[in-house]
Amino acid sequence: MSNSRKLFLGLSVVSALCVGPAIAGDGHPAGYFGYGRAPTDAEIAGWSIAVRPDGQGLPPGKGSVAEGAEIYSDQCAACHGTFGEGEGRYPKLAGGQLTGDRPEPTVGSYWPFATTLFDYINRAMPFPAPHQLTADQVYAMVAYILNLNNIVDNNFVADRDSVPKVKMPHRDAFLWRDPRPDTAAKECMTNCVDPGSIRIESTAEGKSLTPRTTGPLDEMKPE
């Protein structure tokens, strides 16, 4: 895991010791190949749509809950339901419990950052015609969906200052690191389990969930 900076330091160590690990990068200075060209500021601005939790990337503009309600019923409700309950298998956007047998992660019950809502709606929704809403419209959608989830009140106006300040209910439950390996199976080779204790707990046999795997594609309808 070297980068050009570490590599630069690393190289002198390598040459001093005449041994060392394989070098990951080639260590060429910036601009060595000289291919391509610098993008213009306008080109960069046009494609820079990513938004961070601290608000970096949020454009100017604003939108209210009331404005959001209108756009939502026009452009989103057909799939996501009037109150965000989700039609058919389309994602539910509001409500949902994380406890119980069938947890339902939604924007309200699960999402850690409100800024992600702006980023995602702007880049990917409405699903059939993505990235065509104005910044004001996207802000209005953010306000409306947060309001559907009772995270902001009816007077909330979403803009580049207000959205990063919204604290999402489940945020502190997220651990942004990988605790694995979290299993420690041993490589037993003989008499690893008591043969008498082996019991089939579940089987796919007889469940009518598996599409066929020969002949033409299965058209099996959603349940």
Partner 1 sequence: MKANKSGSEQKQKSESIGRRGFLALGSALAGSAMMGGKAAAADSYPPKDPDWSLMLGPGVVDRPYGQPSQFVKGVIRRNVPWLTATQESSVSFTPLQDQPGIITANGLFFERYHGGRATVDPAQHRLMIHGMLERPLLLTMDDIRRFPSVSRIHFIECPANGGMEWRAAQLNSLQFTHGMVSCAEWTGVKLSTLLDEVGLKKDAKWALVEGADAAHMDRSLPIEKCLDDVLVVYGQNGEALRPEQGFPLRLIVPGWQGNVNIKWLRRIQIGDQPWFTREETSKYTELMKDGTVRGFTWLIYAKSVITFPCPEKPLKGAGIYEIRGFAWSGKGKVTHVDVSTDGGVNWERAKLQDPVLPKALTRFTHEWRWDGKPTLLQSRCVDETGFVQPTISELRAVRGVNGIYNNNAIQTWQVKPDGSVYDVQLA
> Using an 8 Å Cβ cutoff, are 121 and 129 in contact?
no
Select the residue interacting with partner 1 from 116, 135, 157, 169 (CB under 8 A): 116
**Beta partners for residue 63, in sequence order:** 158
> For residue 110, with 0-12 CB atoms within 10 Å meaning exposed, 13-18 middle and 19 or more buried, which class applies?
middle
210 binding partner 1? (CB under 8 A): yes
From ligand HEC, partner 1, none, which one binds at residue 153 (CB under 5 to 8 Å depending on kind)? none
**Residues forming the site for ligand HEC (CB under 6 A):** 75-76, 78-80, 90-91, 93, 106-107, 117, 120-121, 125-128, 141
> Between 10 and 107, whose beta carbon lies closer to ligand HEC?
107
Stretch that binds partner 1, among 46-54, 67-75, 136-144, 145-153 (CB under 8 A): 46-54
From partner 1, ligand HEC, none, which one binds at residue 178 (CB under 5 to 8 Å depending on kind)? partner 1
Give residue for tokens 């099996």.
220
49 binding partner 1? (CB under 8 A): yes
173 binding partner 1? (CB under 8 A): yes
Tell the smallest beta-carbon distance from residue 136 to partner 1 (Å).
Answer: 19
Interatomic CA distance for residues 33 and 36, integer angstroms: 9
According to DSSP, residue 29 is labeled P
Interatomic CA distance for residues 147 and 166, integer angstroms: 11
- Residue 119's CB: how many other CB atoms inside 10 A? 19
